[in-house]
Amino acid sequence: MGIHKAWYGPKGGHALLSSTEPGSQAVFRQAAWLTDLPGTVPTGLQWQPYFRTAIHDGYFVLIHTRSSRDTTRAGMVDSVAAFISLTELPLIPDLRALADNLRKSHDNDDRTPFVPIANATTALANAHHPLLLDMANALISAQQRPVIHIGQTGFDDIMLDLLQVVPKQMRREILFSLSFSPEDTGAYVAVAAPKELASRYPQGQVLSASSEPPSTGVAALLNMPEGRPLLDFGEAAAFDLQSANSFILLEQAFLLWESPTGVGDAIRLVRLLAAKSGDSQRASDVRKVALDKLTSTSGQWTPADVLSMRNLQLERFDTSTLTAAVRAWVRNRATQAAKTEDDCHLFDQAARSAAQQKWWNTDVHAGYASAINAQSAGIGTLAWETIAKVPEGLEPVLALFGAEGQLQVLASTVPAVLPSALADSVAQESANRGAWQLCGVALAAAHTPPKALSEVLKHVPPNGFRRVAIKSALSKASPDDIIGIAVREGIEEVTALAADVITGDPNLVHKFDWTSPVWFDILDQAIARNRNKATEVPDRLQGLQALIQRGERSDRIWGPLVRAGLADLSHVPNRADAWKLIPEALASDVVGLTAKGWLAAVLDGTASIGAIEEPLRSEVRSTLKGNTLMASLAQKSHAVFINIINTLYPQSDYECVTLLDSLARTPGCRLASAPAMALGKLIRTHLWSSAAAEAASHGRSRDDFFPLCRECLSVMNWWDSFPLSFRMGKPVQIPADDAWQMFEETLAELYPQGPTHQEFWSRTGGKDNQLSSEGNGVAQWHRCLKHVRAGQGPAASNLLRTSLRDFSGNPVLQVLRDSRMLE
């Protein structure tokens, strides 16, 4: 396969000079304008030779342009262009070799086509280059095009790398050029703008290096290992990837394939595969799995889900299992008592056979026909509600029942609905007699719940009967209706009803609205009834953050949060701004909940021990003083214990004495070597003589205090240190298993993304391809250090030295260094 080239330059203007294929002269000549400068060069501006790509007459054209060396006329250029058939573009093994050939073709007389080397081995593109990552992201995102690269330096390399590594079907999308004005940017993905002209371009489109790791889609686009699963999925499904939009759809399908979050995702996956997957056997297998996944979720289907299936094009799927599931679901749903708007919409569509897809009309219709023939009361209720909501649907509904010979089902299920005039008369008479329940249900039979509530309030006096009357008027209201009315109206009795609803169905608290004061009233009453049933409010952290941002100071808001145990601010980003807002009577409860949450987060590794603000810091220290937590940490969480004593507690000689006494008195507590050494070092550093004396007193009878005493001997009086030195004898050693466990915990905290975080592994002498990226950072470190301890990869001492260079003040790393247990 040869790639033809054409040379352009001054010839009474900018024109075609020669080519490697005389038979294509017309095509080459018509492309001359593409090989000229993209626009007028501002006076005095210096530009460098550049590459440009374009689509012309069925060809992908790669052009190299430089200032003309054969004329003194300003603004003239020489260009060499390679014309690649769009059908052959994916077959070119190395486009960078072609680019290099174009550069050289300016100055040699060879007029033969470029012949790619089929088995050429080329260096991989620098896929981790930040600008390349951002350029790739722009290609498959909604970012406005073109992306503006300021300056020419590195631009051609980035774009040629991108052109090389993207899926070969997408090469035609990589259009780029030099630009002298926003008006000459055309349909390019990216342009290089001279630095002197940077201010002319939209700044929102200017490319800037990002420190964010590449998304799965970007990684796949750049053929990075992290994107391999996405590409494998695309190959298996035979996805058509001739455009960036197709790649975006592939990524969406892959995410739905790998991590579906519900029925809607399963439906969207089937829809995407129906539209974009190929006809290979592997693609057929992928479609089958996707359809099986959708079928397996039938227990979670809602009417809206089944409605959304009505435009699924399943001609290339084996639908027998799905259609049976649809028929069964429709039949079972129709027999249920509760009906929603979507139920009626679904029934109406089925009765009308209104869907685009024949299979849906056939199978949903069959499901309802089965329920009709079973003479279920539920299907009759559904039919009447549908007729009420969609009057024009009456004829199709009757036809559906008539076709099955079951019109009597409709006759036996006429709803007990009163005309409004009659209901109003009944309500008035009931009010006169004090029959408030009848008053309410009569209005409920004639009006919507809000209207029924409005009408009953006209009748009922402000006495103890209000609750009964209001509850009856809302007897036909759904829980959502009650909550909505309560929030909208702010009526005390409706608020109480909403609290009852929440108590009966705690899941409804997920509708909690952080901007509504009434919701806090509902929450308060619900937790008064049963605290455990109303504490899972949604978006707790974001909600608390918003309260703080708007300066909320009300007892009405903070009180329910405290009483529900929801006022833990430990993970709220703007926590420090909250302490001046919280009402004084609630402040101690909030700081207590926050301290408890912060300590729990430290223990489970979701929070790091660092500077915390007052009054939280004091509360945390008070908590640490007042229980046996420190003793537990000293035995089970050595790294956490060491970090706490070096940052939070103890902060004084007296506090350290108290801590030592607590450690000594806690039943079953024996100090491990590492925390003991760290505590002793702390005493020595601060010259806490009382703590040293306390340590000596315990060291006389407990050998687990020896490592502690050895570290702070220099602080002790001679009458304490002399006998202890005699008793302790040889140096202290941390058990090897403890040392490795501490090392693993500390590395996982300092480098949370795993061994490749901050290129740590490579800086210790390791190779990244030795690592597995499965699991989170903790899992990766556990697996990595297991291999290191077994003698695979860099020595442990290399890892320790490198981490100490990064975090020289880390007390755990210092203890491990001094113990020499990792050498």
When pLDDT is averaged across residues 758-770 and rounded to a whole number, the result is: 90
* 781-801 pLDDT, tens digit each: 999 999 999 888 899 999 999
**Which helix (H) or strand (E) segment is 130 a member of?**
helix 130-139
Maximum Cα interatomic distance, the chain, rounded to a whole number of Å: 111
User: For residue 405, what pLDDT is reported?
Assistant: 66
Inter-residue contact 508 to 497 (CB < 8 Å): no
Q: Which of 674, 688, 602, 612 is nearest to 642 (CA)?
A: 674
Give phi and psi for 60, each to the nearest 5. Answer: -95, 120
Q: Would strands 176-178 and 190-193 be described as parallel, antiparallel, or unpaired?
A: parallel
Give phi and psi for 190, each to the nearest 5. Answer: -150, 150
Q: Has residue 429 got a pLDDT over 60?
A: no
Q: Has residue 408 got a pLDDT over 70?
A: no
Q: Has residue 422 got a pLDDT over 60?
A: no
Between residues 751 and 811, the one the model is more confident about: 751
Lowest mean pLDDT among 84-93, 230-239, 577-586: 230-239
Inter-residue contact 130 to 21 (CB < 8 Å): no
User: For residue 394, what pLDDT is reported?
Assistant: 59
User: For residue 73, what pLDDT is reported?
Assistant: 73
When pLDDT is averaged across residues 390-396 and rounded to a whole number, the result is: 68
Between residues 70 and 450, the one the model is more confident about: 450
Q: 84 - beta bridge partners? A: 60
Q: Which residues of 297-317 are buried (b: 16+ CB within 10 A; e: fewer)?
A: bbeebbbebbbebbebebeeb
DSSP 7: E
User: For residue 776, what pLDDT is reported?
Assistant: 92
SS3 of residue 64 by DSSP:
strand
Q: Has residue 126 got a pLDDT over 60?
A: no
When pLDDT is averaged across residues 496-503 and rounded to a whole number, the result is: 90
User: For residue 720, what pLDDT is reported?
Assistant: 75
Of the pLDDT bands very low, low, confident and very high (cuts 50, 70, 90), residue 153 is: very high
Inter-residue contact 757 to 777 (CB < 8 Å): yes
Q: Has residue 372 got a pLDDT over 90?
A: no
- Percent of the chain's residues with pLDDT above 90: 39
Q: Has residue 430 got a pLDDT over 80?
A: no
When pLDDT is averaged across residues 472-484 and rounded to a whole number, the result is: 88
Of the pLDDT bands very low, low, confident and very high (cuts 50, 70, 90), residue 391 is: low
Q: Has residue 276 got a pLDDT over 80?
A: yes
What's the mean pLDDT when you consider all of the chain?
A: 86
